[in-house]
Amino acid sequence: MSRGICSRVKSLDPVWILTLVTFAVNVIDGDAHSCREVKAAFQQRQVGPLQYVPEAPHADVDLLVCKHQGPSCCTRKMEENYQLAVQRETLHNFLAYSYELENLIQSHSNAFDDMFQYVLSFSQGHLSSLLEGSFSSLSHHALPHVNQLFSSLSLYLRGVNVTIEATVQTFFNNIFPLAYTRLINPSYEGSIAVKSEMDDCLRMIRQDVNPFGHHPALMAQELAEALGAGQQLSVALKKGLEVMNATQHASLSRDCVRNLVKMVFCSHCRGLTLIKPCVGYCLNVMRGCLGSVTELDQPWRRYVHLLEQLTLAMAGHHNMELAMLGVRGHVNEALLYAQFHSPLIIATIQPERTPALREQTSQKQHIHVFGDRFGLFLEFLVHLQRYKSFFAALPEILCEGENVVEDSTCWSGDSVVKRYTGKVVGNGLFAQRQNPEVKVRSMDPVVNETKESLEHFNQVGLVICFIFIDKRTRIWFAVASLPFCCPENDAHSPPSISHFLSLNLSLFLSLDFTLSVPI
């Protein structure tokens, strides 16, 4: 029985073979004259309406970009949609790569702002408690001026055009009438109208009378030094976000878009939907398209270096917290100074009236503020190192992974090749003169404006970096072998920040930033 079956199968072998061969030939012939795979890719990548894709390839198609001899699965409408698609995909890939950097800057900008506001709020409460506890006679009327002082300091840290000197002097001008009528000369009497006129007069002559000694000037100096770096750090982070936003909206030139279509989609016109671009070819196209953007490399490196210096300045001895906590001590000393010198002040203002001399001395206690926020600065510095070469690395990043093929059969823009033989150029506009793929004629105006703005910011920021970093901080960081406000390419510069962090991470984490301030 089994032999019978076998003999029947054997007798049908030639028929089955002929049938299978005929079917295979028909399938192959059908695929060769079909654009089904092209339509599937067109749909998968959401390029445009499917009715633009023909069912079968056509000869003599009037194409502008994907020209080649022989039948094509592309049409002019498809080319137009391909151009929109490559722009959309390139922008998406750029945003995906830049998201982490933008998020790093934005999140730490918010964190630093929150930290600044916390320190301001704590210091404001610290000063208010002093007035309520030690100078209760004037505390109620002085609190609005305290609120105004810290509100102005908050605006300064946000980059508003407010000066520390004017803010501090205004505060002491406003509390002088209160100090005079309640501390210096509490026996002073007068009608409401007379008091109002007297208050205005006292505000005007306060700096001439100098009732608070050197304490207002010292307080203004310390706040300017400490808050200056904080303000610049806050402004610098916002500048980084501005640069990122500008580059994300940079336009791609017409020649760039045409070459992106050639690189990504022209192989589809021949039915080759799975072939990938050669890596060298991709680099040339991307470096040509991003020629203007990569010009930001050097200004961006200097900007990151400036961010490092400002961050280190903020971390050094927590001088902002020290200065803010010291506001209470300066106000306390100023009021005690006024009380101690009340006879001289009264004699200057009203020579005929000289109450008895009363001397007080400030009692200094200490509070301890552990520098737990130092970890925020350290975290920012560590993450920042990864993005120094952000703009230089952008073309390579966009040509990484599954998008290209390096050492295998690949697409060269015109045909399938074993390897790309064209010259691979570097970054920047000058290098694009020899780019065999993309013609770059001029700098993108938006990017050029961004570059000039960033360069100017770096120059101003470097000067401010020197101004607002106090001598103690410079000495401390010099001992720690940190690069401080000096170009990275200087042969005499200290080791790089990344080198320092790798060697001294344990030192940073072991530091106890305990501050002793008078209260």
The average pLDDT across 335-363 equals 65
Of 41 and 383, the structure prediction assigns the larger pLDDT to 41
pLDDT the model gives residue 490: 41
pLDDT the model gives residue 380: 82
Q: Which of 144, 323, 367 is nearest to 219 (CA)?
A: 323
Q: How far is CA 65 from CA 26, 32, 79, in A?
A: 32, 23, 7
Q: How far is CA 492 from CA 220, 310, 480, in A?
A: 35, 21, 15
Least confident of 1-10, 150-159, 372-381: 1-10
The average pLDDT across 490-503 equals 42
Angle, CA of 130, 132 and 137, to the nearest 5°: 120
Q: CB within 8 A of 5, min separation 6: which ones? A: none
Q: CB within 8 A of 301, min separation 6: which ones? A: 388, 389, 488
What are the structure tokens assigned to 372, written together?
């737990």
The average pLDDT across 429-443 equals 92
- Strands 416-417 and 410-411, by their bridges, are antiparallel
pLDDT the model gives residue 279: 92
Residue spans of beta strands (DSSP E) within 392-514: 410-411, 416-417
pLDDT the model gives residue 500: 41
pLDDT the model gives residue 21: 34
* pLDDT surpassing 70 at residue 366: no
Contact between 248 and 360 (Cβ < 8 Å): no
Angle, CA of 192, 195 and 198, to the nearest 5°: 155
pLDDT the model gives residue 468: 52
Q: Which of 82, 91, 75, 92 is nearest to 46 (CA)?
A: 82
Q: Where are the domains of the chain?
A: 2-83, 84-510
* pLDDT surpassing 50 at residue 369: no
* pLDDT surpassing 80 at residue 472: no
Of 374 and 475, the structure prediction assigns the larger pLDDT to 374
Q: How far is CA 446 from CA 115, 244, 247, 450, in A?
A: 34, 12, 8, 6
Mean pLDDT over each residue of the chain, to the nearest integer: 78
The average pLDDT across 341-356 equals 66
- What proportion of the chain, given as a percentage, has pLDDT over 90? 42
Q: CB within 8 A of 343, min separation 6: which ones? A: 354, 355, 356, 357
**pLDDT tens string 107-118:** 988 988 888 899
pLDDT the model gives residue 9: 37
State phi, psi for 497 to the nearest 5 degrees. Answer: -65, -35
**pLDDT tens string 97-148:** 889 899 999 998 898 888 889 989 999 999 999 999 999 988 899 999 999 9
pLDDT the model gives residue 28: 34
